[in-house]
Structure 1
């Protein structure tokens, strides 16, 4: 039987709930903890009262998390989904010796002082979705090499990690990634050579990567791309030459790409294209004649 329990601070609910310890006592009396699978918390006093929670807990969501890492006394043995929003004290995710091995989704938002990811993240063999959004101004400058062992990963968002300056040379080992969002990674300067191994990539967002340059062959083995977004990428002079081989490409967004001087001659081969945005590219003075061969494009 699926069981959900929601704990919130008093001022966040229209009617005042009982104090936190009374919540826990109520759970103990009613034996709710035995079957608890989803726990949603908006509560600052996150204490060891939780250590008696059901080991069947599958989904844990917490706002205003106030620990440096997830305490070992909180059972993560069977957790499938872990969400932390505005974890103001979070410096890393968990103790190295206690990774949530069954995790399928990991969502971290507004972790303003997150400094590193644990190396044991590479043990999460079932992880399919990882979203790390807005790490503030404290440097998360790189990812551990073990990150590239997440071979089941399909959806990866590293949005607004302003100090992330490099990706591992083994980044291409994440061969099942279909959705990659690097929006606002302003310190990122280059994609690794192995990037071309991401043969299942369908969505690539590089907007506001203002220091990023792309090698001409970076998409060499990638043929399934549907959305390519390069808004405000100031250093792009040309698009990767294989962009014209993306027969599934539906949306191409190019805006404020100040160094762009030309589009590939055969851009008109993108017959599936239904949205093309080219705005504020001052050095782009000519468009390829092949664009006239495209079907209706917005």
Structure 2
């Protein structure tokens, strides 16, 4: 409690002429409570820049005194505190004000150069209060030449962290994890997860799917562990959970893992620079991850020089811009297990050195352009023997199908915002992908039906088709997927009904038809899903009305067979039907989603919701 004693001493020094001697830390807290009790006016105790692991410290200052409140500012969220508020980056006006305040000399005089230079510096700080303050103080009293040199360095690709050790030092403190909170191994992995976020492009939302895939292979984390690490990074303000309008619901943190394909995170530009800076501290041959940003065709010097020297990184990320032409210098990436390719061109060819990645297990391809990209040389990843997971975003899939036949080791494929067309009709999918256990299809606007041939992949365990507004038909063949454990048909608003054969899916543990607005039929034989643990059916408006009438205000008796059921999410009307079931299965939790309306709003056409739960939403306190 030594920190408590220091804080109490400061409060007394501020309020009384003579600070008493404290016999012990407990005595200091008791005397502070007596002092605050004597103050008649409302009291606000501000604890600034409180670090992670200080929960017990905060508890010491919680007193039952009327009109007494505590305001905590922190880089880290404290879940036990109520009324949390996250500060967003500063706007241009406030950024300029803070920077000018920090850059002005103590006597009030100013040596600030012209407005254009200031605006360029402020833009580099991207609304980050700490950066604005530290950079402003570092330039205070400096000559105009020094200011211009800083701007020139940053404009030529140098990191803002390279030119300011004070800012780097402040940001690095965010990566100092306490051994009191998490064991050493978890601490190391959490830091590695943060550094991996630098693999994705600047100013781009990051889907959770590729993160979970890469961490599964690099650190052997399952989905729950990966989600827990993400929530910890979010709590420490090292990443932000995006409010994505397409997700229909803004989920409570406890629901974060229930349908992670709809969730995205983002990272402030400076934090991305910090991740890259920390990853680049070692020599190229010793780095665990290689993160390369290529502007036009300006390859880094080490790339050109390492033509025949092996690269030992386990993760390699290559980002190219719209001016890049596919002329690759050769390298030897023999140890790469995760390859992340980010590009902006309409046509993109895989580099020849991919064929050398015999240890490659995860391939993540993201087109950051505005239209679906055509991929060339896709046969190269097909020649890799260990490739288990592929994530394709904003690409055209049909041209890849011939190459898919080579991916016999593939276990999971995720198609995000892709053009699927007739992609899988030209190959015998069950023969081409005999080990496939998971398919994710999200925001693929042209898919109208689940292809019958995909129903022959008997080993499939997870199928997720979400936010595909043209999707309207699930074939009878779906009943052949007898090993299916998770079926998500979330936000497919034109899906009208489910085939009768769905009753054959006896191994289902999660079944989600939420936001299928036009669905009018639900399998009455759902009681045959003996292993079902979660049932999500919120905002199925027509379905709710239909079932309420069809079942005469009570669920069919077969529903009582759902012995493993733990969670049901639905609207208020449907929740009334579940009350009798709760009498038989006391462990069932029925979560009511109260809708505040639907908004149709995506690039062209997106269906988004603004649903709120009966419980409070997750948030956290301020940053810096």
TM-score normalised over the length of structure 1: 0.77
Alignment partner of 1:59 is 2:353: no
> By how many angstroms is 1:188 displaced?
1.4
Residues in 1 aligned to 2:514 and 2:458: alpha-carbon distance in whole angstroms: 26
> By how many angstroms is 1:254 displaced?
0.7
Cα distance, 1:70–1:14 mapped onto 2, change above 3 Å = same
Match of 1:38 among 281, 289, 304: 289
2:333·2:353 contact (CA, 8 Å) conserved in 1?
no
Cα distance, 1:206–1:98 mapped onto 2, change above 3 Å = closer
SS at match of 1:218: helix
Residues in 2 aligned to 1:274 and 1:12: alpha-carbon distance in whole angstroms: 49
Residues in 1 aligned to 2:522 and 2:286: alpha-carbon distance in whole angstroms: 58
Match of 2:483 among 215, 220, 224: 224
Query: 1:135-180 CA deviation, whole Å, 9 max, x = no partner?
Result: 4xxx55553312132110112111121x222332323331211221
Moved more, 259-268 or 44-53: 44-53
| Residue equivalent to 1:20 | none
Residues in 1 aligned to 2:456 and 2:490: alpha-carbon distance in whole angstroms: 24
Residues in 1 aligned to 2:366 and 2:337: alpha-carbon distance in whole angstroms: 18
Moved more, 88-97 or 223-232: 88-97
Q: How does 1:9-28 map to 2 (within 5 A)?
A: 9-11=157-159, 13=161, 15=163
Residues in 1 aligned to 2:398 and 2:338: alpha-carbon distance in whole angstroms: 25
Alignment partner of 1:291 is 2:559: yes
| Residue equivalent to 2:388 | 128
Moved more, 222-231 or 42-51: 42-51
Q: How does 1:132-171 map to 2 (within 5 A)?
A: 132-135=392-395, 139=396, 142-161=399-418, 163-169=419-425, 170-171=428-429
Count of equivalent residues: 274
2:497·2:521 contact (CA, 8 Å) conserved in 1?
yes
2:398·2:423 contact (CA, 8 Å) conserved in 1?
no
> By how many angstroms is 1:283 displaced?
5.0
Query: 1:210-250 CA deviation, whole Å, 9 max, x = no partner?
Result: 22322111341x22222211122234333244432333322
Larger radius of gyration: 2
2:479·2:504 contact (CA, 8 Å) conserved in 1?
no
> By how many angstroms is 1:264 displaced?
2.0
Cα distance, 1:198–1:244 mapped onto 2, change above 3 Å = same
Q: How does 1:147-296 map to 2 (within 5 A)?
A: 147-161=404-418, 163-169=419-425, 170-172=428-430, 173-212=432-471, 213-220=473-480, 222-278=481-537, 279-282=539-542, 285-286=546-547, 289=556, 290-295=558-563, 296=565
Q: Which has the higher contact order (CA 8 A, sep 6+)?
A: 2
SS at match of 2:400: coil
Cα distance, 1:148–1:227 mapped onto 2, change above 3 Å = same
Residues in 2 aligned to 1:55 and 1:238: alpha-carbon distance in whole angstroms: 55
> By how many angstroms is 1:207 displaced?
1.0
Match of 1:107 among 356, 360, 364: 364
SS at match of 2:527: helix
Residues in 2 aligned to 1:166 and 1:280: alpha-carbon distance in whole angstroms: 29
| Residue equivalent to 1:47 | 299
| Residue equivalent to 1:24 | none
SS at match of 1:282: helix
Moved more, 184-193 or 174-183: 184-193
> By how many angstroms is 1:183 displaced?
0.8
> By how many angstroms is 1:292 displaced?
3.9
Residues in 2 aligned to 1:115 and 1:59: alpha-carbon distance in whole angstroms: 27
Structure whose residues are more often helix by fraction:
2
Residues in 2 aligned to 1:265 and 1:210: alpha-carbon distance in whole angstroms: 25
1:69·1:91 contact (CA, 8 Å) conserved in 2?
no
Cα distance, 1:255–1:91 mapped onto 2, change above 3 Å = same
2:478·2:502 contact (CA, 8 Å) conserved in 1?
no
Residues in 1 aligned to 2:382 and 2:294: alpha-carbon distance in whole angstroms: 30
Cα distance, 1:171–1:13 mapped onto 2, change above 3 Å = farther
Cα distance, 1:160–1:227 mapped onto 2, change above 3 Å = same
SS at match of 1:200: coil
Cα distance, 1:234–1:225 mapped onto 2, change above 3 Å = same
Structure 1 regions of 5+ residues with no counterpart? Answer: 1-7, 18-26
1:225·1:246 contact (CA, 8 Å) conserved in 2?
yes
> By how many angstroms is 1:294 displaced?
2.1
Cα distance, 1:48–1:32 mapped onto 2, change above 3 Å = closer
Residues in 2 aligned to 1:129 and 1:12: alpha-carbon distance in whole angstroms: 35
